[in-house]
Amino acid sequence: MKLLLDLTKEYGLVLDGGGARGAYQIGAWKALREAGVHINAVAGTSVGALNGALICMGDLEKAEKIWSEMTFSRVMDVDDAWMERLFQGEQRLADILPEIRRILAEGGVDVTPLRRLIHETVDEKKIRESGIEFCMTTFSLSEFRKLELSISDIPEGRLEDFLLASAYLIGFRNEKMEGRRYLDGGLADNVPVAPLVERGYKDIIEIRIYGPGREPRVKLPEDAEIYRIGPRVRLGSILEFDGRRSRQNMKIGYYDAKRMLYGLEGIIYYIDQEYSDEWYERRMRDVSELEKAELAFRLKIAPGYTDKEIYLAVLEASAKQLQVPKYRIYTVDEVSKLVQERYEILADSLELPGFIHTFTDIERNRAMNLKGRNFLTLKDFTPEEITYLIDLAADLKEKKKNGVPVDHYKGKNIALLFEKDSTRTRCAFEVAAHDMGMGTTYLGPTGSQMGKKESIEDTARVLGRMFDGIEYRGFGQEIVEELAQYAGVPVWNGLTNEYHPTQMLADMLTIRENFGKLKGLKLVYMGDARYNMGNSLMVACSKLGLDFVACTTKDYFPNEELVETCRGYAAESGATITLTEDVKEGTKDADVIYTDVWVSMGEPDEVWEKRIRELSPYKVTKEVMENAKDTAIFLHCLPAFHDLKTKIGKEMGERFGILDMEVTDEVVEAEQSKVFDEAENRMHTIKAVMVATLGEF
């Protein structure tokens, strides 16, 4: 997720009044702290002033504890059980009225517990030394005027008194302070933006809980910016001082702040939305305009709606109806998946609204319709979609062998954007495209201005207007992700540091050609499993039901976060994930032994020396293959360092006294080796990806 706020700026924070709803502000503050937002000034009214004091103290843990343990009796001299029954609607009117009369007769609700809580909680010295400008608003009943007080305006030792004065709601027993009476600051200004504007702040964050009170208009400088965090659900009564409600409101505040900070979409849910408007148009293309109008009416969407608005509204409404948990950050696909899973479980047992059936129909209809999709990592695809691509590749391979043309893409053009050179990837894309009747434009490492004189975003938008698809081979996954975000046409990952999805399809097709199946087979990856090949094989195997083994030293194990993600996939497919340093145990009864080069070209000598030393026990040899099943095959994505017939091979052979590196020549040339079948299959599987994502023309 990309943070929308500029962390180099210093922000003013405004906290409005709203009694018990104040827990929300602490949750929001937590999210701001996590994001690294620097708060240089705080202005608060009523509970906002109390929370502002806690923020100036900088003790988030203390603030969370106070609100988590909140009870009615910590604020008012009341019986907690009686108040809980009141808010649960269990008290009879006949019981309530006498209690109200008694309280009024005694001058209002006794808030001595609140005074005690402020005394126990607030560290005035810490606030004064915090370096944060602290302002608060109260209303002087004696002078009948608003008081805007900074910490410097308040005499030392009197902060607690003024915090209480700011929180004197009408109905609270109001005690004089040095001969004067005060009322809740919300009476005059419940949203104290003005004190911060007067102090020159132009970047102001409001955390709103919408308590009762006045909201005077404030003239902002032209270059001022207000960032608002506010709830879209009810936070409860301003007097509902209950720990359970407070903990819930803190959670809501936390995620609502995330919504503002990262531009999350969704009304009900928190959605990290990465798709273009065109993606939603493709998603909704089979829904008639009449159906869209009916959905808009049912879900109360304003006229002039877009396909994106309709889709997200239906998605959220379906998720809510099917009780998908709200408080976490989802992608669109994650929410969709959960909706579909719950639908399959509940569809026969519940009478569900029509819009849920419509949504599941939309998702089913597009399940094997990949037109317009990007192909960036297999994490984005279901096992069924991956299998479909493998099946399509097998069909296209058969057609090519039999001379059946698939050349109805004339007039289409694709860009091949290579920041890293390649033989197989370039040739596979070019031959596949030409077979399909398309033109290709190759942009090598020096063939474009991307990242040098032109941003990735601009490059994507330029190429997207000229080409029907874009292939990228290069460095960080974030580059191909950004290309996909702005291109407006399908983008295909030909290799990044993290993933190599087109290679995976070729590998899986090759394995299936040899065994007639994928599920239940054991694939062992040997060598450096930290990057694109180890990552991608683990994803592919775990999604398709192959047992995956990374056989290497612990220093070269895959990233633990990805391992856990893949274990989740494996739990669904029946696969297993194993990380081991034991070659004999790891390769025992393997169906597929796989390796890749240990060192990328251009890396310094010390890297070669280190890798050769540390990874030599994991070289694929005849003995390793003999420890696998008799039917086992050997795969390598190539190029392979298995002899001295290359310039680099000869140089490294002389320098380090080796004949090979990650695999012996004997294994590569053996009958069990399927590396050249695998290389050919790059072309067929890449053709399948282009056919599927470009669609039939």
Task: Show which residues are catalytic.
Answer: 473, 500, 503, 596, 637, 682
**E-assigned strands of 99-252?**
133-140, 145-150, 182-184, 203-207, 225-229
- Residue 186 phi, psi (nearest 5): -65, -20
What is the distance between the alpha carbons of residues 206 and 202, in angstroms, rounded to a whole number?
Answer: 12
> Cα 435 to the chain's mean position, in Å?
38
Alpha carbons 258 and 255: distance in angstroms, whole number: 5
| Residues in contact with 15: Cβ distance below 8 Å, sequence separation at least 6, in sequence order | 22, 25, 42, 43, 44, 45, 47, 48, 49, 51, 52, 55, 207
State the helix-helix crossing angle for 605-615 and 647-656, rounded to 10 degrees.
70
Name residue 336's amino acid.
Answer: S
Listed in order, strand segments (DSSP E) in 55-186 are: 133-140, 145-150, 182-184
164 vs 146: CA distance, rounded Å: 15
The C-alpha torsion from 470 through 473 and 475 to 478, rounded to 10°, is 30
Question: Of 420, 417, 535, 533, which is closest to residue 474 (Cα–Cα)?
Answer: 420
238-265 burial code (b ≥16 CB/10 A, e <16): bbbbbeebbbbbbbbbbbbbbbbbbebb
How much of the chain is helix, strand and coil, in % rounded to 5? 50, 15, 35
* 639 upstream amide cis, omega within 30 of 0: yes
Q: What are phi and psi of 355, to 5 degrees?
A: -65, -25
Secondary structure (DSSP) of 12-63:
EEEE---GGGGHHHHHHHHHHHHHT-EEEEEEEETHHHHHHHHHHHT-HHHH
Phi, psi of 177 (to 5 degrees): -125, 110
Contact 228, 253 (CB under 8 A): no
Query: Do the beta carbons of residue 497 and residue 694 sit within 8 Å?
Result: no
Q: Are 372 and 693 in contact (CB under 8 A)?
A: yes
Task: Give whole-number Cα distances, 500 to 316, 488, 494, in Å.
Answer: 33, 22, 6
DSSP 8-class letter at 219: P
Of the candidates 169, 178, 216, which has an alpha carbon nearest to the alpha carbon of residue 197? 216
Residues 6+ apart with CB under 8 A from 478: none
